């Protein structure tokens, strides 16, 4: 969607983008190197030509079961510019061994809860986040349930559940185990 923004980023920070491609809907994506994430984000926000001020969301993808699973995680950032009427779609690749990224919460307040969400469900840490706690799950929860190796039926009730028969969910990728 926003080819212009990616061009401008590539021009300002020649080393920041590792890769660029177009998705099935025709949207342009930029793969940012982790070290350049913060400067790219603040450029997108503060550049008067771009003004990507609306922080839409961030989430991660666990690529464990995709054909090319390394590096394992991708963190996706979506920003919107009302001035240009475009979405900036960025992603950062994160290896399994060192799941940590610089936090963008100092740049976008809106990233705060989404980074907590990613920590909660994928176990990726954000250095410099003011308050990196779990957000939807409870602190006693073990593991990160949206990782593909977390099985669907691994329940961890905080309060013991009543003895109801579990519902079998069919032959899902991780449900059969």
Partner 1 sequence: MAEPVDAAPQAGESELEAHLETKRMIVNLGPSHPAMHGTVRMRVELEGETIVRADPEIGFLHRGFQKSCENVTWTQCLPYTDRLNYVSALMNNFGFLNAVEKLIGLEIPERAKFIRVIGSELHRMADHLTCVGAVALELGGFSAFLYAIEARELLVDRVTELTGARLTTTFGRVGGLNRDLPDGWVDKVLKSLDKIALLRDEVDALLTKNRIFVDRMKGTGVIAAEDALDYGFTGPCLRACGVNYDVRKAHPYWIYPALDFDVPLGRNGDNFDRYIVRIEELKQCDRMVRQALSLLPPGPVILDDWRIVLPPKPEVYGTIEGVMAHFKLIMEGIQVPAGEVYDCTEAANGELGWYLVSDGGGRPYKVHVRSPGFAILAGVPRMIEGRMLADLIPTFDTINMIGGEVEQ
User: Per this entry, what is the length of the chain?
Assistant: 177
Q: Residues binding partner 1: what is the number (CB under 8 A)?
A: 43
Would you say 177 and 157 are in contact if contact means Cβ atoms under 8 Å apart?
Answer: no
Would you say 49 and 67 are in contact if contact means Cβ atoms under 8 Å apart?
Answer: no
Alpha carbon separation from 138 to 123, 141, 157, 163 (Å, rounded): 14, 6, 10, 22
Closest CA to 8 of 51, 57, 38: 51
Write the interaction track for partner 1 spanning residues 90-129; mark x where CB under 8 A is met and - where it is not.
Answer: ------------------xxx-xxx------x--------
Measured from the CB atom, the residue of 14 and 85 that comes closer to partner 1 is 85
Would you say 146 and 62 are in contact if contact means Cβ atoms under 8 Å apart?
Answer: yes
Measured from the CB atom, the residue of 1 and 11 that comes closer to partner 1 is 1
Measured from the CB atom, the residue of 14 and 160 that comes closer to partner 1 is 160
Strands 17-22 and 54-62, bridge-based pairing: unpaired
| Span from 2-10, 12-20, 30-38, 169-177 in contact with partner 1 (CB under 8 A) | 169-177
Q: Does 34 bind partner 1 (CB under 8 A)?
A: no
Instruction: By CB under 8 A, name the binding residues for partner 1.
Output: 23-25, 27, 53-57, 59, 61, 65-67, 76, 78, 80, 82, 85, 87, 89, 108-110, 112-114, 121, 134-138, 145-146, 150, 152, 169-170, 172-175
């Amino acid at each position: 969607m926003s080819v212009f923004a990616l061009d401008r980023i590539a021009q300002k920070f020649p080393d920041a983008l590792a890769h660029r491609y177009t998705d099935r809907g025709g949207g342009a994506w930029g793969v940012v190197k982790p070290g350049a994430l913060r400067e790219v984000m603040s450029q997108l926000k503060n550049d008067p030509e771009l003004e990507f001020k609306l922080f839409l969301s961030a989430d991660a993808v666990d690529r464990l079961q995709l054909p090319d699973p390394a590096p394992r995680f991708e963190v996706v950032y979506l920003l919107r510019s009302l001035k240009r009427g475009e979405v900036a779609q960025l992603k950062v690749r994160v290896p399994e061994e060192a799941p940590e990224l610089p936090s963008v919460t100092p740049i976008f307040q809106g990233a705060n809860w989404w980074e907590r969400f990613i920590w909660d469900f994928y176990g990726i840490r954000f250095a410099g986040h003011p308050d990196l706690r779990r957000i939807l799950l409870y602190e006693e929860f073990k593991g990160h349930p949206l990782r593909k190796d977390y099985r669907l039926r691994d329940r961890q009730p905080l309060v013991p559940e009543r003895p109801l028969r579990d519902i079998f969910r069919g032959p899902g990728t991780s449900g059969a185990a």
